[in-house]
Amino acid sequence: MAEHDIDSLIRNRRTINAFKTERPDNEAVLAALESGCWAPNHKMAEPWRFYLLGEKTIAQIVDLNAEMTRVKKGDGAAQKKRDKWSTIPGWIVVTSLRSDDSLRDRENYAAVCCAIQNIALSLWSRGIGIKWTTGDVTRSPELYEILQIDPAIEDIVGVLWYGFPKESPTSHRRPLTDVLKQLP
């Protein structure tokens, strides 16, 4: 891949909020997860764990989130959330291995974020978009139970919703000069 190709891929990838109903091929998703495993990581810790969810597990999470929403915002909001979440074609949960060492824990989290970026770019190169969500449900003990994750061992970094984009939003960034300080 030419240098400008990777730059273009990075600059054109977008968070997708609306997906077509068709679920992408599992082969493409597995290839993207493999790319996630090639993220930089301190001391080759490879702290990422991926959970590729099936329909039964997704339905349990949709129910959990709808109930959480109902408690906070009422029945109408819960139904809207249920309707929206029920249309998302693909779900991946990404976790980071925990460490008793706070520096190692931070390094693990950073590596997992790099892995998620690799996954996002790999999927985008195949015409598949993602939304990385970190809403309240990702911190709920009930989600850990549904996924059979021991929170003492793994921390949920987020849920990646994936699918073919209905639309691809545009975006812009501040110029590099706004965020760059060059020192002697």
Cα R_g (the chain), whole angstroms: 18
Residue 54 in tokens: 């099936």
Distances (CA, A) of 78 to 83, 86, 141, 166: 9, 12, 19, 23
Q: Quickly count: other Cβ atoms within 10 Å of residue 140's Cβ.
A: 17
CATH for 28-166 (3.50.50.60, 3.40.109.10, 3.30.565.10, 3.10.105.10): 3.40.109.10
The Cα 12–Cα 39 span in angstroms is: 20
Contact 33/92 with Cβ under 8 angstroms?
Answer: yes
Residue 67 CB neighbour total at 10 angstroms = 16
Element (H, E) at 69: helix 55-73
Q: What's the CA gap between 76 and 83, in Å, rounded?
A: 11
| Residue found by looking up tokens 């991926």 in the block | 50
Summarised one tens digit per residue, pLDDT across range 82-95 is: 999 999 999 999 99
Query: For the chain, what are the domain ranges?
Result: 28-166
Cα-Cα-Cα-Cα dihedral of 82, 15, 91, 103, to 10°?
Answer: -120
Q: Report yes or no: 165 and 129 within 8 Å, Cβ to Cβ.
A: yes
* pLDDT tens profile 99-116: 999 999 999 999 999 999
Per-10-residue mean pLDDT of the chain, 184 residues long, equals: 81 96 97 98 96 98 98 98 97 98 97 98 98 97 98 98 94 95 96
Residue 56: both structure tokens together: 């039964």
Tokens encoding 130: 């993602």
- Output the pLDDT for position 168: 86
Q: Which CA distances in Å does 102 have to 99, 107, 147?
A: 7, 9, 25
Per-residue confidence (pLDDT) for residue 182, from 0 to 100: 96
Q: How far apart are CA 160 and CA 51, in angstroms?
A: 10
Q: In this structure, are residues 44 and 158 in contact, taking their beta carbons and an 8 Å threshold? A: no
